[in-house]
Amino acid sequence: MITPVHYMLLSAALFIIGVVGVMVRKNIIIIFMSIELILNAVNINLVAFSAQLQNGIGQVFAIFVIAVAAAEAAVGLGIILAFYRNKETINIDEMNLMRS
């Protein structure tokens, strides 16, 4: 029997994979994709509880999360492009213009 606990564990595992990706990779595109993974983990959680509670509110929030993710991806990738045009790199370790 699959309980919400299974979904929560799956979600937590996916979240941690995303977190690890954010923490260890230096390719900023992959970091962005890791963030998408984190958001998907959240969505899984929301939808699981939506199914558990027998109402659609969780799915509605998941839709909002998707909308935010889309916006974030669009703006973030735009920033990456602009940065790449200036610095010829997408290495996050070289994105330290604000460091004194």
Partner 1 sequence: MKYIWLIPLLPGLGALVNGVVGIRAFSRKASGLLACATMTVALGLSLAAFWQLLALPTGARAYDVVIAQWIPKIPLATRNGFAAFEVPWGFRLDPLSGMMLLVVTGIGLLIHVYSTAYMADEPRGGVARFFCYLNLFCFFMLMLVLGNNFLVMFVGWEGVGLCSYLLIGYWYEKKSAADAGKKAFITNRIGDWGFVLGVFLVYYTFGTFDFRAVQNAAAAMPIETHFGVLSAICLLLFVGAIGKSAQIPLYVWLPDAMEGPTPVSALIHAATMVTAGVYMVGRNAVLFSHAPMVMEIVAIVGVLTALMAASIGLVQYDIKRVLAYSTVSQLGYMFTAMGVGAFSAGAFHLMTHAFFKALLFLGSGSVIHAVAGEQDMRHMGGLKKYQPVTFATMMIGTLSIAGIVPLAGFFSKDEILSRAFLANKAVWVIAVLTAFMTAFYMFRLMSMTFFGNYRGPAWETTGHGAAALAATHGVKHPADPHAHGRAQRSDHEVTHGPAEPHDETGKDDHAHAQGHGPWHGPHESPAAMTYPLQALAVGAIIAGFVGIPAALGGGNTIEKFLEPSFTAAAASETAGAEVRPRTDATEEHETAHVSAAVEIGLMAFSVLVALAGISLAYKVYVTSPEISEQLAERWAGAHRLLLNKYYVDELYNGTIIAGTMAGGRKLWTFDRNVVDGAVNGTSWLTVISSWFSGLTDRTVVDGLVNFIGWIVQEGSLLFRRFQTGLVQNYALLMLFGIFAFVSIYLFVR
Partner 2 sequence: MAQAIAFYFIAACILGFAVLVVTTRDTVHSVLFLVLDFLFVAALYVLLGAQFLAAIQVLVYAGGIVVLYLFVVMLVNLKRPPEAHEDPHRRTKLGFGLAAAVLLELGAIAVYGSVNPAAPMPATPAIPVSGNTEQVGWLLYTSYLIPFEIASMLLLVAMIGAIVLAKREL
Least distance in Å: CB of 51 to partner 2? 4
CA within 13 Å, CB half, 10: 13
- Chain residues 19-58 in contact with partner 1, contact rule CB under 8 A: 19, 22-23
Q: Is residue 98 close enough to count as binding partner 1 by CB under 8 A? A: yes
- Chain residues 73-92 in contact with partner 1, contact rule CB under 8 A: 92
What's the CA gap between 78 and 41, in Å, rounded? 24
Nearer to partner 1 by Cβ, of 52 and 91: the residue is 91
Long-range contacts of 91-98 (CB under 8 A, 24+ apart): 91/26, 91/27, 91/28, 92/26, 92/27, 92/28, 92/31, 93/26, 95/28
Interaction partner, residue 87 (partner 1, partner 2, none; CB < 5-8 Å by kind): none
Q: Residue 25, Cβ neighbours under 10 Å: how many? A: 15
- Chain residues 19-78 in contact with partner 2, contact rule CB under 8 A: 19-21, 23-30, 32-34, 36-37, 40, 43-44, 47-48, 50-51, 53-57, 59-60, 62-64, 66-75, 77-78
